[in-house]
Chain A
Amino acid sequence: DVQLLESGGGLVQPGGSLRLSCAASGFSFSTYGMIWVRQAPGKGLEWVSGISGSAGTTYYADSVKGRFTISRDNSKKTLFLQMSSLRAEDTAIYYCAKRSGDYWGQGTLVTVSS
């Protein structure tokens, strides 16, 4: 079975940094592009970032460009999202998913607050 398990969320102060991880299993990880999507409390879904299977190409939403970095370690079947200069508006549940949107993790909550 395909499984995606996010970790690394938590409470961080404005201006701080956090690194999210997404451990994948049950499929050929390096073959597939991956994405991060977030959902602020009580709000809809917002695409954050994407990366190709080889990690050769990355994409970012304007709202996070220059502050967030997506990466992956195909040998460890793990996707990452390095978040810096965090703002209150980055508070959300962060989901990792396969690029096609067919499989999603359970999400990890990031709270940016002083």
Chain B
Amino acid sequence: DIVMTQTPLSSPVTLGQPASISCMSSQSLVHSDGNTYLSWLQQRPGQPPRLLIYKISNRFSGIPDRFSGSGAGTDFTLKISRVEAEDVGVYYCMQTTQFPYTFGQGTKLEIK
């Protein structure tokens, strides 16, 4: 199974400041079709997960441009350029390159 490791697990951030979350996979996420199926999900308190970023760097419909994704192979990063109050929640990376799909442990974003 592919193990997904996120850092940090907790991130206190000041409103208006940037935030960054890293995700490392235990093996390459490059699929045989050439795509890398690494997604970032946000889960606000009491809500289901929602997709922010797919295939490393593509923002999903309706996601603000302050969210961006980057990386390749086994190392990936989610960045929030200026944190807003509504960004509070837990962020997960998820690989859908191969079954079993796996998630990172989650990073809790909170406001200082």
Contact = CB atoms under 8 A, between A and B. Distances in A.
Interface in A80-114: 95, 97, 99-107
B71 interface: no
Contacts, number: 51
Interface in A60-98: 61-62, 95, 97
A44 B102 contact: no
B96 A46 contact: no
A35 interface: yes
The residue in A47, A61, A102 that gathers the most chain B C-beta atoms within 10 A of its C-beta is A47
The contact size tier of chain B is: 20 to 34
Contact of B96 (A44, A45, A100): A100
Interface of B: 39, 41, 43, 48-51, 54, 60, 90, 92, 94, 96, 99-106
